[in-house]
Chains A and B, each alone.
Chain A
Amino acid sequence: MQMVNCTIDGKKVCVPEHTTILEAAKEIGVYIPTLCYFKGLNEIGACRVCVVEVEGDQRLHAACNSPVLEGMVVHTNSKKAREARKCNVELILSQHNVTCTTCVRSGNCALQHVANDLNIMGESFPKDLPKQKGSKSFPLIREYDKCIKCMRCIQVCDKIQATHVWDVINSGGKSTVDVRDFYRLEDSPCSLCGQCITHCPVGALRERDDTDKVLDALDDPETIVLAQIAPSIRTAWGEEFGLDAEEASVQRLASCLKEMGFDYVFDTDFAADLTIMEEASEFLHKLTHQEGDFPMFTSCCPGWVRFIKSHYPEYIPQVSTSKSPQQMFGAIAKSYYADILKVSPKKIFSVSIMPCLAKKAECSYPNMTDSEGNFDVDVALTTREVNRLIRAMHISPKKMKDVELDMPLGLGSGAGNIFGATGGVMEAALRSAYYLATGENPNPDAFKDVRGMDGWKESSFDIAGNKLKIAVVNGLANADRLLTALKKGQVHYDFVEVMACPGGCVGGGGQPIHDQKEMAAHRAPVLYKQDREGTLRFCHENPSIKLVYQDYLEKPLSERAEELLHTSQKGWLMPGESE
């Protein structure tokens, strides 16, 4: 590798050829402000905030995508650089509706941060705000007058998610970011993965806020409000409250929710275990009877289901009929648990806490109800919304005491817990499929090959004489690649797990936002640690699961299980999908 020597702000640095000025500066502790930049994803020099002066050149260069060259002398904060940088931020502010006090990203906004750091007071240019308005009812909301055209949403939707929803529309001064090929987001093939939100530096993209609906239910004394907490929430919710991984437990979150007035708090891990019982049984049934086409695809990620329905409808029959853990939980809560409470399901308001926007769409699909039309889940909140609720209710999680979750739906296995990370569903399913096929438990770590942040993992395992070829993908662009390869006959699998978000739900689009940082790899180890250290590591060994089958469902794929826990993936339609 060829090395290059240069000087940045008087400090010498030697870096490999092709290193950017920004990266070289970072090596020697020189901080250059950025705004549109997102490492590896969006290095396009659009905002011109990172401009620096290079000796010998009249004009400034964007540090984020200009390579250092041999002998280069860079000044990151010269008068010329400073003034141009400040001017560019002021220009961006002229097209940004500066409503920081009421903005969802206040305090966590790259523009606010950079403008404050540059000591910009007031506004230097007349306001020139776009007038377009988007839908306020769709789970994903775009605020046109907050967008700073950093293009990150376009990049993540194209490169990471292969969903191609966002694009630059119009040219010249009228250029803006908007929905590609459609006029409205709700008519587009948006998977609602929410990655555009977690990659947005400002408040231009956000989830629909459903917290008021929850508060209304909590305030109604006639309504029983219960919550389920998805596996990945426990890896992320405490970040903004300064809790470490131990403190940010599901029990701590439960105490916050109880403090708000939730009557019962449960664990989606329970429903993940239930999902495995149904999905593994479904898979084994397909395998032993050689029914339908392979691979079978997992169905627990609604972003993925939206993607396959929009982009590869011919593969819909191969998606598992098992409902997602969120929906299984909701269905059990309003049937089995309503029976336990001896109340009508209508009295129950079921809230899910999810890392995801697609869950908001999923819980309101017309077929996600019981026979009387009660929705399995009434409201799905993202991690961010729950955190906002905690703050709005003046709760200090740091000071709260952990409380145990309610039973029996508050108990989950380690296998259910790792659903929150890529490979987790597959690993949990294989652990139980092995048991279901052989009558014996495997070593719980026998299938650890499927762990890790690689976008497309594959492996093969021998289960009761069946050689299984499986694949695990995360990030929809990897799913797109896999489906293309499948279509061309280049790959063959028996079972495929797909999670829409990079790294799985731990990197979900509803999770807390850390600008310019991908969090999945930091959060996933929390789940694996809990699995490793727990005593219950198989879904089928969960006593609550045994109980619910014994008392209510009888056995996996029973008539009642089919009715409550399975669904038709054609039971609702994506925009443009044919019946």
Chain B
Amino acid sequence: MSRLIIVTENEAQKTVEGLYRDIERRIQASQPGLCPVDLAEAFVHVCHSQSCGKCTPCRVGLGQLEGLIESVLDGSADMDTLKTIEKTAEGIYNSADCAIGFEAAKMVLRGIRGFYEDYAEHVQHGRCFAKLSQPVPCVSLCPAHVDVPGYVSLIHEGRYGDAVQLIRKDNPFPAACGLICEHPCELRCRRTMVDKAINIRGLKRYAVEHEGEIPAPKIMDKTGKKIAIVGGGPSGLSAAYYLSIMGHDVMVYEQRKQLGGMLRYGIPAYRLPREILDHEIDGLKKAGFQVKTDVSIGHDISLKDLRKQYDAVYVSIGAHTDKKLGIPGEDAQGVISAVEMLRNIGDDDYPDFSGLNVIVVGGGNVAMDVARSAIRLGAKTVKIAYRRRRVDMTALPEEVEGAIADGCDIVELHSPVRIEKDENGHCKGLVLKPQIIGGVRYGRPSPKDSQAPEVELKADLVLVAIGQGIDFRKFEEYQEIPIESGRINALDTSALKDVDGIFAGGDCVTGPATVIRAIAAGKTAAANIDEYLGYCHEITSEIELPPVRFDDNAPTGRVNMKERPADERVKDFKLMEYGMTDEEACQESGRCLHCDHFGYGIFKGGRECKW
């Protein structure tokens, strides 16, 4: 008789482990618009299956909850049933012995409180408010609704020019987005159910790299209408591009020396090389809009005058002001905001950080951008100080990893307290209070002071990257512009309530967001300005797509983007990421499941041929 044995997984356990991973991926790929009550019932069923069966609330209660939710779905419940569901879930939550029971009950409670109206609608009318209005996940999650399956199929056929032209129907910045888009399209990619999401951004970049000359768009008949765009960033230029195609005369006013907005003045060149951005903007200009740079609205010309001179105005001034730390010593020399630093780099004014100890404060993508730029500017050390844990950073995980690989140190769980100055008023150190991670608030764990003593880190430069705001002082002379919480309060049509002929969108409306959201806002504004001026010009594409492919879709790894080795890339501001090879692009585009054809897409129109 042996005292101990080595536990090995049997075949059934191994299979179940695999199924857990399948379910995880499956949930990840849930399309938007599903019935939350139906999902709640399914979740309770899974939770119930996990019950060991020892305790009453979990063993019996979860089954009863499932039955009650089913009665809501099958039309046999009344409004009292909803009270019973809530009371039962509370009882289970309060009395279950372990997390299997009480967390399951908590999910039900969150649901019946969070989407009570859906429960009630089912009871009263046998209906659900949820609706699968845009059935192709990538298209629906792209704010600009780019025809992803369409251009992916064109890439697979080797028709790169057509692919990029199809993208331009909805997004005039394919090159920029191919490099720096946050790709929400990949978030719920149905391919995740098979293996892993398609690398959509990488494919877009590949198509752009193989496009060749950007063709000039076909301009519709001139309307004689004049439109002013305030701010030449991605949102303003998108609006300018589409409005010009529609035949309107467009003038873009840009405060800075060059066009591009945050694409130039917020994103360092190693992520988006200037020559690529310039080439893209030159291509946009073929639509024929005019540009005036170095003009500040509210300073050189008032918005009121602009409104008088033009038939419509689109305000897309972005969010370019910095937020302050609000700690003693912040006024020291050598304390620079990330916005300011990136702005200078944008005009190719590269400072020299040789030999300097740099501390970046913040945990977002902008913090990573300035930290990695500081390394490239020759800094001796770069530390990134962050109040929470590294895993809590809002920056994309690959950006954080990239920064570390570039040589940045992450100083997690340290909160800035004050900046120490030398006798010349220049900063010499940043004092930090160590933190421990604490309770979860609003879905994120928050830091709290630990009992450890303060620490001081040597700092010749402190780069502050804790957020941006909009410069709404411009509009003080135009009181009608509604400002709320530091943003322009525009309607979802980009129009402003009670202000005739002025539209707004992009970061100045949403707060600092993504380039694709800014582009989508510009597109929306273009459509609604056109409508406002009494037209209905349609932006369409005449590109015919190849026949749908057949494939058994055997699981295949996703082609991830590779980067230049860290020791090489930190020496310059040249593009850091490698593109896909022909072989990789062909395989990756072949992984697309074509939800525009298979499933709900073919029924409810996966493809938006015009807007």
Query: CB of B38 within 8 A of chain A?
Result: yes
- Residues on the B chain within 8 Å of A168, using CB: 132, 604
In angstroms, Cα B130 to Cα A131, docked, is 21
Interface 9-residue window, one of A53-61, A402-410, A503-511? A53-61
A65 to B598, CA, bound (A): 10
- Given known contacts A59-B552, A170-B38, A172-B38, A488 and B536 CB-to-CB distance under 8 angstroms: yes
**Contact call A169/B127, Cβ cutoff below 8 A:** yes
User: Total number of A-B contacts with CB less than 8 angstroms?
Assistant: 56
In the assembled complex, how far is the CB of residue B154 from the closest CB belonging to chain A, in whole angstroms? Answer: 15
B89-103 CB contact bits vs A (8 Å, 1 = yes)?
000000000000000
**Inter-subunit contact B128/A171 (CB<8 Å):** yes
Return B164 CB to nearest CB of chain A, in Å.
23
Contact with B along A199-210 (1 / 0, CB 8 A): 000000000000
**Distance (Å) between the CB of B117 and the closest chain A CB?**
15
| B550 CB–A CB distance under 8 Å | yes
User: Interface residues of B: mostly helix, strand, loop or mixed?
Assistant: loop
Within 8 A of B (CB), among A488-512: 488
Query: Of A39-47, A451-459, A568-576, which binds chain B?
Result: A39-47
Q: How many residues of B contact A (CB 8 A)?
A: 24
Expressed in whole angstroms, the Cα–Cα distance for A178 and B131 within the complex equals: 13
- B483 contacts chain A at the CB level, 8 A cutoff: no
**B127 contact set on A, CB distance < 8 A:** 169-170, 178, 183
Flag whether B73 is at the interface (Cβ < 8 A).
yes
Residues of the B chain whose Cβ atoms lie less than 8 Å from the Cβ of A171: 33-35, 38, 128, 130, 132
Q: Give residues 494-516 of B contacting A (CB, 8 Å).
A: none
B75 at the interface (CB under 8 A from A): yes
Contact B602 A174 (CB under 8 A): no
Which residues 99-149 of A have a CB within 8 angstroms of B? 131-132
A65 touches B552 (CB 8 A): no
Q: Which residue of A lies closest to B544 (CB)?
A: A18
B38 contacts which chain A residues (CB < 8 A)?
Answer: 170-174
A residues 163-177 touching B (CB-CB < 8 Å): 168-174
Q: Does A22 contact B (CB under 8 A)?
A: no
State the CA gap A65–B602 with chains docked (Å). 9
Q: Could you tell me the distance between the alpha carbons of A131 and B34 in the complex, rounded to whole angstroms?
A: 22
Is B603 touching A151 in the complex (CB atoms < 8 A)?
yes
In the assembled complex, which residues on chain A have CB atoms less than 8 Å from the CB atom of B443?
none
Chain A residues within 8 Å of B125, by CB: 183
Is the Cβ of A132 less than 8 Å from the Cβ of B552?
no
Residue A67 is within 8 A (CB to CB) of chain B in the complex:
yes
Question: Nearest Cβ in chain B — how far from A186, in angstroms?
Answer: 15
Q: Are A132 and B547 in contact (CB under 8 A)?
A: no
Q: Which residue of A lies closest to B125 (CB)?
A: A183
B128 to A69, Cβ gap below 8 A?
no
Interchain CA distance A43-B536 in the complex, whole Å: 30
Are A69 and B552 in contact, with the CB atoms below 8 A? no
CB closest chain-B residue, reference A19: B547
B126 contacts the other chain (Cβ, under 8 Å)?
yes
| Residues of chain A contacted by B608 (CB below 8 angstroms) | none
Chain B residue numbers with a CB within 8 Å of A46 are 603
Candidate in B38, B603, B604 with the most chain A CB atoms within 10 angstroms: B603
Nearest-neighbour CB distance to chain A for B585, whole angstroms, equals 21
Q: Give the Cβ gap from B491 to chain A, nearest Cβ, in Å.
A: 22
User: Complex formed: what's the CA distance from A455 to B201 in Å?
Assistant: 43
Q: Which residues of A contact B536 (CB under 8 A)?
A: 488
CB contacts (< 8 Å) of A54 on chain B: these are 550
Report chain B residues within 8 Å CB of A364. none
Q: Which residues in chain A, 383-439, are within 8 Å of chain B measured between CB atoms?
A: none
Alpha-carbon distance between A427 and B132 when the two chains are bound, in angstroms: 45
Closest CB-CB distance, A143 to chain B, in whole Å? 16
Say yes or no: is A17 at the interface (Cβ < 8 Å to chain B). yes
The residue that B602 contacts in the complex, of A44, A58, A132, A172, with Cβ under 8 A, is A44
Q: Is the CB of B548 within 8 A of A132?
A: no
Minimum distance in angstroms from B313 CB to a CB of chain A: 24
B74 within 8 A of A: yes
**A interface footprint on B587-611 (CB within 8 Å = 1, 0 otherwise):** 0000000000110001110000000
* Cβ–Cβ < 8 Å partners of B132 in chain A: 168, 171
CA distance A168 to B38 in the complex (A): 16
Q: Is there contact, CB below 8 Å, between A69 and B550?
A: yes
A67–B35 contact, CB under 8 A? no
| A151 CB to nearest B CB, Å | 6
A121 to nearest B CB, angstroms? Answer: 30
Q: What 1/0 flags go to A180-204 for Cβ under 8 Å of B? A: 0001000000000000000000000
Q: Which residues of A contact B552 (CB under 8 A)?
A: 57-59
A66 to B547 alpha-carbon distance, docked (Å): 9
How far is A69 from B157 in the complex, measured between Cα atoms in Å?
A: 14
B547 touches A18 (CB 8 A): yes
- A61 to B553 Cα, complex, angstroms: 13
Tell whether, in the assembled complex, residue A69 and residue B547 are in contact, meaning their CB atoms are under 8 Å apart.
yes
Closest A residue to B31 by beta carbon equals A171
**From residue 1 to 58 of chain B, which have CB atoms closer than 8 A to chain A?**
33-35, 38
24 contacts across the A-B interface (CB closer than 8 A): A18-B547, A43-B602, A45-B602, A57-B550, A57-B551, A57-B552, A58-B552, A61-B550, A65-B597, A66-B548, A69-B550, A132-B75, A169-B127, A169-B128, A171-B130, A171-B132, A172-B35, A172-B38, A173-B38, A174-B35, A174-B38, A178-B127, A183-B125, A183-B127
Closest 4 CB pairs of A and B: A67-B547, A44-B603, A58-B552, A171-B35
6 further A-B pairs in the complex, CB-CB below 8 A; given A170-B128, A174-B128: A45-B602, A57-B551, A132-B126, A151-B603, A170-B38, A183-B127
Interface residues of A (CB under 8 A from B): 17-18, 43-46, 54, 57-59, 61, 65-67, 69, 131-132, 151, 168-174, 178, 183, 488
